[in-house]
Amino acid sequence: MPHNSHKIAVIPGDGIGPEITNVAFEILQHVAKKNSVTYIERVFPFGGNHYLLTGETLSQESIEELKKYDAIFMGAIGSPKIKTGILEKGILLNIRLSLDLYINYRPVKLYPGVDTPIKDKTPSDIDFVVIRENTGGMYSGVGGVSMKGTLDEVAINTKVYNYKQVSRCIRYAFKIAQSRPRKLIALIGKTNILTYVFDLWERVFKEIGEKEFPEIKREYYNVDAACMHIIKSPEKFDVIVTSNTFGDIITEIGAVIQGGIEMAASSNLNPEKTTPSMFAPVSSSALDITAQNKANPIAAIISMKMMLAFLGEHNAADDIEKALQKVTPMNLDRMSTKEIAKAFMNGL
């Protein structure tokens, strides 16, 4: 096998997941051929349906199996028949934590021709990335409940961060800022109230910035103010670095201003590449439009582009970016999944 053959684990999942994954892989096939990229793929059944059939969310053995791959591509996961939290924790968080995918990289980019609800803003105003810490904070699972169901019930979910988690995330975000022309980074936190956790973030941000990235301009926003600025003046932002929960929330605002959840892509990264990173649209499984040829596959296509770039296949990734620039002005809202896929293939 040629040395550049990438092993890709595919988890199409539920709802529209398989449809949009198919489009992304059709495109992969095309750009791979054109750029002499070789890969092998294996499809895994994990998701809501698999859980209902087998009782498995994602076993330790399956995790070990996934570790043999270079990347994971996921469509969407979710089922209304399953109690909320089971698939989220059993599959998504399990993959993030077991594979130590400590960065959640989410581009917020308005493509040409895509409508943003923010008046008078154009693609040159909306083009930033959110680096969301992906293993800690309120997602650590630290907490508990006592006296459940009584008037004295106590429920605790705690925001937990250690120096290692904070510093590796911040250092990665600075590196991304360094690779972009504006040399600008914003930390989003809540130093006025969460004085322990964000004191740690703020100190590490300053320390790493001063010592290792003196050419990068640093800014700080409290999360509430940031929500306002991102909507009013998205052009203020280039790289945002923030905690797990704040990143979760901010990227939903990001999704709206970049034209909707179907434009929002994400990658869950282990930057050292000691484990496979995972690429997936932010979108939900959208069961209401499943198998009706209605799903917009753009977020899956952007996720595919990010996967190729992360695997070092920059020419193939650039081909996808160029085709995106041609296709997004085409009024995608009126097009079916297959029409979008076809327009895309023609643009490649």
Binding interface with Mn ion (CB under 5 A)? 248
Whichever of 14 and 313 has its CB closer to Mn ion, that residue is 14
Whichever of 252 and 333 has its CB closer to ligand IPM, that residue is 252
Q: Quick one: which of 10, 58, 72, 92 contacts ligand IPM (CB under 6 A)?
A: 92
List Cβ neighbours of 218 (8 Å cut-off, separation of 6 or more): 185, 186, 187, 205, 206, 209
Question: Do residues 259 and 111 make contact, with C-beta atoms less than 8 angstroms apart?
Answer: yes
Q: Which does 226 bind (CB under 5 to 8 A by kind): Mn ion, ligand IPM, none?
A: none
Report the distance separating Cα 149 and Cα 212, nearest Å: 51
Q: Quick one: which of 65, 88, 219, 318 contacts ligand IPM (CB under 6 A)?
A: 88
Report the distance separating Cα 166 and Cα 242, nearest Å: 9
Whichever of 14 and 248 has its CB closer to Mn ion, that residue is 248
- Closest to 78 (Cα-Cα) out of 284, 230, 324: 284
Minimum Å distance from CB 96 to ligand IPM?
8
List Cβ neighbours of 96 (8 Å cut-off, separation of 6 or more): 104, 134, 135, 268, 278
Degrees, nearest 5: CA angle 13-15-17: 50
Minimum Å distance from CB 282 to ligand IPM?
6
List of E strands, the chain = 5-13, 38-43, 71-76, 103-109, 127-133, 143-146, 154-157, 184-189, 217-222, 239-242, 265-269, 277-281
Minimum Å distance from CB 336 to ligand IPM?
26
> Interaction with ligand IPM in 272-291: which residues (CB under 6 A)?
282
Whichever of 131 and 340 has its CB closer to ligand IPM, that residue is 131
Minimum Å distance from CB 85 to ligand IPM?
8
Q: Quick one: which of 248, 262, 313, 319 contacts ligand IPM (CB under 6 A)?
A: 248
Q: Which does 235 bind (CB under 5 to 8 A by kind): ligand IPM, Mn ion, none?
A: none
Minimum Å distance from CB 93 to ligand IPM?
6
- Residues at the interface with ligand IPM (CB under 6 A): 88, 92, 248, 282
